[in-house]
Structure 1
Amino acid sequence: MTSDSDSSDRLDVGVGPWEGPWPEGDHYDPDLLREGDRRNVVDRYRYWSREAVVADLDERRHDFHVAIENWQHDFNIGTVVRNANAFLAEGVHIVGKRRWNRRGAMVTDRYQHVSHHGTVEDFVAWAKGEGLEVVGIDNLPGSVPIETADIPRRAVLVFGQEGPGLSAEVREVCSMVCSISQFGSTRSINAGVASGIAMHSWIRRHVFNT
């Protein structure tokens, strides 16, 4: 078992070394018990090894995936991954360039399944094989307000690049495109913020509205 404590974490986050006799269980990480657990994890997972945390999350993941296009090294991808972890998405899919800036993920990519698809065609073939509907999230003409949309349970929510939004190739394969209602002067919100709103919309419909 290996510890994944992050040296950039503040020392006042988390808990110190375990006091008293160590608890029993293969899910505990000896290094964390000995040195303390300063990770940004919920109390349930204090002192657990990374592998044990991922295994437990895998038992409870939701039915949706998220994907984001990455043709220009989008800095929103880290936030999308962090949101996917918060809402327990089945997986995150990077479409386009493989490399992305992990800083915004705040180490949550260690607990989230992240896959890469070099082309839109590869991504669509994967989604079809998994029986997932491709749902675009973008403020486009003809899009359906996400607040009232009937978002499919088995879906992959797709976000475009900052600025241009969803590519034409992705728009063509979406079974539906949902927009996020806005009321101010700005034309759009960034993909990181949009991803959190969209994932929470899925949660409200399929977790709390059952």
Structure 2
Amino acid sequence: MHPACPEFSPADEEDIALSSEEVYPRDPTAVNVGVGPAPEPWPDDPRLDPALLAGGDHRNVLDRYRYWSVEAIVADLDTRRQPVHIAIQNWEHDFNIGSIVRTGNAFNVAGVHILGRHRWNRRGALVTDRYLHVHHHPDVASFAQFCREAQLDVIGVDNLPGSVPLETVELPLHSCLVFGSEGSGLTEELVGACSRLVSITQYGSTRSMNAGAAAAIAMYHWALSHASGQAAGGVSSPAGRTRDGADTQHSSLG
């Protein structure tokens, strides 16, 4: 078990009053993804959400999770979290934070840590943060204490002096990959809390790449050595991606 630290609650959301469309929003990247209302009679399954069964499920989730409540999905993901954490400095309300969180969901990370401001730019996360354990740390000291107690190696990802090329190292199994704000990168204080620094080798003219892209590369590099369990694509329903319309198929409710 990891040491206790503040987790975000619904009260931390920037918009407290949520409409039904905001609670289960459609995937804005693919409007027609999802399934319509489930045919009755509905199975007696506590994982299923009556509101979704009645109105359809258009969330950006795997087909196996169609009609499941958020709580049921989180409980299932908790049985196979990867033992890697990610942390992002939030000094500038960086829009990349949402993108990094969404990638963290794709790799099913054990925890996401926001350092600095309590509110962060959720737009790019596309509500994927609801399926993760997101923690807030007001300063570097509290974050570093969490990592010490959880026995996590803090790995800074930035092209700073003293960093080593990411492709030349195997990241520790129990790592916390740390990313700075877009532009300013990691602060000196946070660099001091890192056990090592890694950088992503570049071959063009730009000084640095987008923070969201760098985070995805770093998480994938960790996964190449350590990721366990069946990949998400291996548990999709046999019918594949379902869509609304005349040919809509209902995902399995079993």
Asked whether 1:17 is paired with 2:37, we answer yes
TM-score by length of 2: 0.78
1:1-210 equivalences under 5 Å are: 4-6=23-25, 9=28, 11-207=31-227
SS at match of 1:152: coil
**Could you say what the CA RMSD is over the residues aligned between the two structures, in angstroms?**
1.5
| Deviation, structure 1 residue 71 | 1.2
Number of aligned positions between the proteins: 206
Provide the C-alpha distance between the structure 2 equivalents of 1:170 and 1:150, rounded to a whole number of angstroms.
Answer: 21
Q: Highest relative contact order (Cα 8 Å, sep 6+), 1 or 2?
A: 2
Q: Which consecutive segments of 4 or more residues in structure 1 shift more than 2 A?
A: 7-11
The letter of the residue matching 2:149 is G
| Deviation, structure 1 residue 67 | 0.2
Provide the C-alpha distance between the structure 2 equivalents of 1:192 and 1:13, rounded to a whole number of angstroms.
Answer: 24
Q: Tell me, which stretches of 5 or more residues in structure 1 are unaligned?
A: none
The letter of the residue matching 2:33 is V
Q: Tell me, which stretches of 5 or more residues in structure 2 are unaligned?
A: 1-19, 229-254
Query: Alignment identity in percent?
Result: 56
Provide the C-alpha distance between the structure 1 equivalents of 2:82 and 2:27, rounded to a whole number of angstroms.
Answer: 30
- Using the TM superposition, name which of 20-29 and 41-50 deviates more: 20-29
SS at match of 2:169: coil
SS at match of 2:73: helix
| Deviation, structure 1 residue 103 | 0.7
